[in-house]
């Protein structure tokens, strides 16, 4: 069988198929057409694979293309934004999801200036405010600028929009309290998509926010180190968070410059709570530290004792499911888009810093080597 690209000899980790072993991966016309065990190769099955291009991935880890569920990639209209490819394919990430930079009124510009020019697949959680982050912040302080009906209508027409975003911090909602979340939930329900909710400093309190969330909704910045988070002063999970988890509400890291704490993660580990998604909240103020990249963020979870399989699942399969695209991305199943990350686990001392300035030293780190998006190979920077 003639194919466009063969990736041979790599250690394939694909949580969508419970795979962790050595396989050869075949790609043709931007789709995955075969995945063959080394002990039972395509040649043994009489298929005689021949690739126009071959990558020898011996010593590397081959995964579904990494997905960053929370990034800010609208640099032409927001002060926080970074170019999608800078935090996407150049860092081994094949899909980035802009989490609320764009609102209804800037969506056309987002398509022209962020989505279409990028090699990286760019999706979005649409801000419930028509302004998005294009006016600098405080976007939920004026209820007249929220656009629930129009947002729902746009989502039905635009497949790159996969959900609704609402930032529920006091500095954003001002005097409006929980009301913007009610409006965001109305839009998400009408459009049939999940909602991503940013949590931070009250008001509103998390005890008000969590009961409004349903199965598939995402709490981002769930492991911040501020007061009033999902753990109380004793490090115990608050009842509202326990109820939310039982309903199927999902917890996302959303590291950011002020929203991830090693100590909060330790509280979670002590109670057997695993973040569902590992994302970065990467933007201009944290790309040079403490976030850096998705692979750097994954390194922090390896350093905290999570397995490589777990961190890959939380950055491929889990976000793909939230996006409703698990048959297209976040998987190496035959027929899926040929989005692939080739990673190296590099043995070298690395200092890691959370958003509270706590540091850890680790002896290995995740490094992006190559990204394949729809079958196109790019070498990472």
User: Which residue positions form the known binding site?
Assistant: 70, 72, 165, 198, 221, 281
Half-sphere exposure of 284 (CA within 13 A, CB side): 11
β-pair partners for 140: none
Task: Output DSSP code: residue 238.
Answer: P
Which helix (DSSP H) or strand (DSSP E) does residue 208 occupy? Answer: helix 206-209
Give the start-end residues of each E strand in 74-158: 93-99, 121-127
Which helix (DSSP H) or strand (DSSP E) does residue 84 occupy? Answer: helix 84-87
DSSP for 38-80, written as a single string:
GGG-TTTTT---EEEEEEE-TTSEEEEPEEEEEE---TTT-SS
User: Which positions make up the binding site for Zn(2+)?
Assistant: 70, 72, 165, 198, 221, 281
Tokens of 358: 């706590």
β-pair partners for 28: 31
Tokens of 150: 């129009």
Per the CB < 8 A criterion, the answer to whether 172 and 207 are in contact is no
Tokens of 301: 């979870």
Kindly tell me the number of DSSP H helices and DSSP E strands found in the chain. 11, 15
Half-sphere exposure of 348 (CA within 13 A, CB side): 7
| Alpha-carbon span 68 to 316, nearest angstrom | 8
| Alpha-carbon span 237 to 296, nearest angstrom | 27
Tokens of 127: 């801000």
């Amino acid at each position: 069988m003639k194919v466009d690209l063969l990736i041979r000899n790599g250690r394939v980790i694909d949580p969508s198929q419970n795979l962790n072993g050595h396989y050869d991966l075949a790609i043709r016309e931007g789709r995955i057409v075969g995945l063959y065990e080394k002990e039972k190769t395509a040649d043994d099955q009489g298929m005689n694979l021949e690739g126009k291009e071959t990558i020898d991935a011996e010593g590397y880890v081959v995964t579904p293309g990494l997905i960053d569920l929370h990034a800010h990639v609208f640099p032409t209209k927001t002060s926080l934004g970074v170019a999608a490819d800078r935090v996407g394919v150049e860092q081994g990430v094949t899909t980035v999801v802009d989490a609320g930079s764009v609102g209804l009124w800037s969506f056309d510009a987002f398509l022209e200036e962020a989505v279409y020019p990028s090699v990286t697949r760019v999706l979005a959680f649409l801000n419930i405010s028509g302004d998005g982050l294009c006016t600098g912040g405080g976007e939920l302080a004026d209820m007249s600028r929220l656009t629930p009906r129009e947002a729902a209508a746009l989502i039905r027409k635009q497949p790159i929009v996969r959900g609704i975003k609402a930032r529920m911090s006091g500095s954003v909602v001002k005097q409006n309290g929980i009301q913007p979340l009610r409006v965001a939930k109305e839009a998400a329900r009408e459009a049939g998509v999940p909602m991503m909710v940013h949590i931070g400093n009250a008001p509103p309190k998390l005890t008000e926010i969590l009961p409004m969330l349903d199965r598939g909704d995402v709490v981002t910045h769930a492991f911040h180190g501020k007061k009033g988070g999902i753990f109380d002063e004793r490090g115990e999970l608050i009842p509202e968070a326990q109820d939310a988890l039982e309903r199927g509400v999902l917890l996302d890291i959303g590291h950011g410059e002020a929203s991830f704490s090693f100590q909060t993660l330790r509280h979670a580990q002590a109670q057997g709570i695993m973040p569902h998604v590992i994302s970065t909240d990467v933007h201009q103020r944290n790309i040079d530290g403490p976030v850096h990249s998705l692979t750097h963020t994954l390194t922090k979870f390896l350093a905290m004792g999570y397995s490589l399989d777990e961190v890959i699942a939380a950055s491929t399969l889990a976000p793909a499911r939230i996006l409703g695209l698990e048959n297209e991305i976040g998987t190496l199943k035959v027929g899926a888009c040929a989005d692939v990350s080739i990673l190296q686990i590099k043995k070298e001392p690395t200092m890691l810093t959370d958003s509270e300035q706590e540091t850890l030293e680790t002896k290995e780190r995740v490094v992006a080597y190559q990204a394949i998006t729809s079958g196109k190979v790019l070498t990472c920077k």
